[in-house]
Structure formats: C-alpha cells, structure tokens
Amino acid sequence: MRLYLASTSPARRQLLRQAGIEPLLLAPGVDEEAAVAEHEAEHGPLAPQELVQLLAQRKAEAIIGRDVDGAPIDGLILGGDSAFLVDGVLHGKPHRPDVARERWAGQNGRSGVLWSGHWVIDHRGGAVRGAVGRPASAMVEFARLDDAEIDAYIATGEPLAVAGAFTVDSLGGPFIRSVDGDPSTVVGLSLSTLRDLVRELGVAWIDLWDLGTN
C-alpha cells in the first residue's frame, strides 16, 4: 500500500521511514496564508487545532488528480501541518533570523503546545473513496538557553524552517526538557494518530510497511 505525502518536509519523511513506511513526496503548492485568510473571512477566526487541520486538508486535497510516473495516485494521501502555541499566540515557521530570535525570547525556559493536523484521503483505485482527519497536540518544555546558544542555533538555519523555531529530533533536541504527549507530534505528525486514521479507513497499519527500503 503506497502512502503519498503531500509535503516536502524531510523531517516528516524521515519520521515515516523510521516507522517502516517509505512515502512518496509530492509538493502540494498551497498558499497557506491565503487559505487561512479566505476561510477566516467567511467563517471567523480559527482555533489552533482548526488551523492546522484546515491546512492539512488543503494540502492533501491539492495533489488529488496528479499523475506519478505516468500513473494516477493509488493509495493513501496524507496532508499535515504544524504550529506552535505560546501565550495564546500561534506561530508557524519564522523564516527569518530576527523572527526566530524573537520567538526564542518569548519561549526560552518556558512551555508551549505544538499542534499537528492530519488529513488522510483514501485514494485506492485512483479515486477518492473517503477521508478522515484529526489534530494532535503535545506540550513542550524548554531548557533555559543563554544568548550564545540561541545565536548559534539560529545561525545554523535549522530553526528558520520549522514551526516554533525548534526541532526535537535534531540540533534543537538538547534544548527541550520534556514532551508531554506523542513525541512524534513535535516532529510534524503524530504516528499514533496517523495509525488510528488509517485504520478508520479500513487499512491495516502494517500494510503500509515497506521494510525492504529501510
């Protein structure tokens, strides 16, 4: 059973590979800011879990109808999105060093909640047969970093491309004291949540394994 990941995230790909799944990555090409603005203009402000779910769904739906190596998508499509909530403010990827530094000034030595959205489309046989989704969250507690550590971490470029300006599975790992919840949620998707969603669609988790490539 093939899993198509509507993302180009190396972290999500590696997480799935470590769980025995070799996903096929497809860039969704979704304008996230425009999607959120359009939805909020019609329906009002989004709660954190609603925002990550909206974007996860839009990403998954964006690759429906594409061909892969000359053949239509035949399997499951996964869309995901993540954002970090601190003091009631939701943060995505900082992109710029000054923004990342500002984020760390607010979360240094403190805690926040990482939200990850999941949307899975059953596209077996080359057509949509169903879809399910659910958000997951995990509480993250940070160590107290000194200015030199923050500057050096930002200089690596790693925190610029991840929600909340930190990672748990790479250079940022030593800066995290604890995670309350599914740890994979902090990487970008909750494996336990994904397993539940896949099973809701009538697919056994082990049918997604591709152990010969790992």
Among 67, 69, 74, 81, the one annotated catalytic: 81
Can 81 be counted among the known catalytic residues?
Answer: yes
Burial class (CB in 10 A: 0-12, 13-18, 19+), 57: buried
Q: State the catalytic residues.
A: 81
